[in-house]
Amino acid sequence: MFVVATAGHVDHGKSTLVRALTGMEPDRWAEERRRGLTIDLGFAWVELRPGVTVAFVDVPGHERFVPNMLAGVGPVPAAMFVVAADEGWMPQSAEHLAALHALEVRYGLCVVARADLADPEPARRQALAELAGTSLGTVEAVAVSATTGAGMTELRAALGRLLDQLPPPDLSAPVRLWIDRSFTIRGSGTVVTGTLAAGRLRVGDELEIASLGRTAGVRALQSLGAQVPEVDAVARVAVNLRGVERHQLRRGDALLTPQRFQATDVVDVRVHGDPVAALPANVMLHIGSASVPARTRPLGPDTTRLMLARLLPLRIGDRGLLRDPGRHHVSGGTTVLDVAPPRLTRRRAAALRAEVLAGLDGRADEHAELRRRGIVRRADLERMGVAVTMAPMAGDWLVEEAVLTRLRSRLPAIVADWRRDHAPEPGPPVDVVRQALRLPDRSLVHALLTPPLSVHAGRVVRTDQAALPAPIARAVEELRAELTANPFAAPPTERLTRLGLGPREVAAAVRAGALVRLADGVVLLPDGVRDAVAVLAELPQPFTVSEARQAMGTTRRVAVPLLELLDRQGATLRLPDDRRRMR
Ligand SMILES: Nc1nc2c(ncn2[C@@H]2O[C@H](COP(=O)(O)OP(=O)(O)OP(=O)(O)O)[C@@H](O)[C@H]2O)c(=O)[nH]1
Ligand SMILES: [Mg+2]
CB 472 within 8 A of CB 492: no
Residue 13 Cα to ligand 2 midpoint, Å, equals 7
pLDDT of the residue at 512: 74
Residue 84 near residue 11 (C-beta atoms within 8 A)? yes
Q: Is the pLDDT of residue 467 over 90?
A: no
Return the higher-pLDDT residue of 526 and 144: 144
Q: From the CA of 11, which ligand is nearest?
A: 1
**Three-state DSSP string of 54-105:** EEEEECCCCHHHHHHHHHHHCCCCEEEEEEECCCCCCHHHHHHHHHHHHCCC
CA-only gyration radius of the chain, Å: 36
Q: CB of 61 closer than 6 A to ligand 1?
A: yes
State the pairing for strand pair 230-232/254-256. unpaired
Instruction: Give the C-alpha separation, 27 to 7, whole Å.
Output: 15
Distance 11 CA to ligand 2 centre (A): 7
What is the average per-residue pLDDT within 201-205?
97
**CA distances for 425 relative to 235, 516, 549, angstroms:** 65, 10, 23
Q: CA of 1: how far to CAs of 27, 170, 200, in Å?
A: 21, 14, 13
Q: Are the C-beta atoms of 486 and 474 separated by less than 8 Å?
A: no
Ligand 1 and 11: CB distance under 6 A: yes
Of the candidates 148, 154, 90, the one whose C-alpha atom is nearest the C-alpha of residue 116 is 148
C-alpha to C-alpha distance for 530 and 424, rounded to whole angstroms: 6
Mean pLDDT, rounded, for 294-306: 96
Pairwise CA distance, residues 568 & 124, whole Å: 85
State whether the beta carbon of 15 lies less than 6 angstroms from ligand 1. Answer: yes
CA atoms within 13 A on the CB side of 325: 15
Residue 464 to residue 71: CA distance in whole angstroms:
65
pLDDT of residue 472: 83
Q: How many CA atoms lie within 13 A of 439 on its CB side?
A: 28
* Total count of residues recorded for the chain: 583
Q: 47: closest CA among 39, 38, 56? A: 56
Strands (E), 187-243: 189-196, 200-202, 206-209, 214-223, 226-228, 230-232, 235-241
pLDDT at 95 over 80: yes
Task: Write down the pLDDT at residue 466.
Answer: 47
Strand partners, 2: 54
pLDDT tens, 471-504? 888 888 888 888 888 889 899 989 999 988 888 8
Nearest-angstrom CA–CA distance, 457 and 386: 38
Binding site membership of 36 for ligand 1 (Cβ less than 6 Å): yes
Between 458 and 332, where is the model more confident? 332
Q: What letter represents residue 108's amino acid? A: G
Q: Is 145 in the pocket of ligand 1 (CB under 6 A)?
A: yes
The mean pLDDT value for 101-118 works out to 96
pLDDT band at 44 (very low <50, low <70, confident <90, very high): very high
φ/ψ of 2, rounded to 5, equals -115, 150
* Residue of 29, 41, 59, 114 to test ligand 1 pocket, by largest number of atoms within 8 Å of CB: 114
Residue 99 Cα, ligand 1 centroid: separation in angstroms?
22
Q: What is the mean pLDDT of residues 169-191?
A: 92
Q: Give which of 162, 181, 152 is closest to 79, Cα–Cα.
A: 162
- pLDDT of residue 465 exceeding 60, the answer is no
* Atom 4 of ligand 1, nearest CA residue: 114
Instruction: Compute, in angstroms, the gap from residue 89 CA to the centroid of ligand 2.
Output: 17
Strand positions, DSSP E, 400-508: 453-456, 459-462
Query: Which of 6, 9, 11, 86 should be mutated for ligand 1, with most atoms under 8 A from CB?
Result: 11
Q: What is the dihedral of CA 15, 20, 21, 24, to 10 degrees?
A: 70
Query: Is residue 572 within 6 Å of ligand 1 at its C-beta?
Result: no
Residue 124 Cβ contacting ligand 1 at under 6 Å: no
Q: Mean of the pLDDT values across residues 176-186?
A: 92
Whether residue 107 has pLDDT greater than 50: yes
Do 426 and 460 form a contact (C-beta atoms < 8 A)? no
Give the Cα separation of 463 and 456 in Å (integer): 9
d(CA 319, CA 409): 42
**80 Cβ below 6 A of ligand 1:** no
Span 310-334, pLDDT tens digits: 999 999 999 999 999 888 899 999 9
Centroid of ligand 2 to alpha carbon of 184 (angstroms): 25
For atom 30 of ligand 1, which residue has the closest CA?
114
Q: How far is Cα 25 from Cα 15, in angstroms, rounded to an integer? A: 8
With beta carbons less than 8 A apart as the criterion, state whether 143 and 124 touch. Answer: yes
Residue 543 is given by DSSP the state: B
Ligand nearest to the CA of 35: 1
Which residue's CA is minimally distant from atom 23 of ligand 1? 38
Q: What pLDDT score does 347 carry?
A: 82
What average pLDDT does range 420-439 have in this prediction?
86
Instruction: Give the number of whichever ligand sits closest to the CA of residue 61.
Output: 1
Tell me the percentage of the chain whose pLDDT exceeds 70: 99
Residue 424 confidence (pLDDT): 64
Enter the DSSP assignment of 394: B
**Tens of pLDDT along 56-83?**
999 999 989 999 999 999 888 899 999 9
- Number of the ligand closest to the Cα of 16: 1
CA-CA distances (angstroms) from residue 17 to 13, 29, 45, 89?
6, 18, 12, 18
> In ligand 1, which atom is closest to the CA atom of 82?
19
Ligand 1 near 13 CB (within 6 A):
yes
Predicted local distance difference test score (pLDDT) of residue 529: 86
**Helical H segments across 177-317, by residue range:** none
Nearest CA to ligand 1 atom 27: 36
Distance 4 CA to ligand 2 centre (A): 15
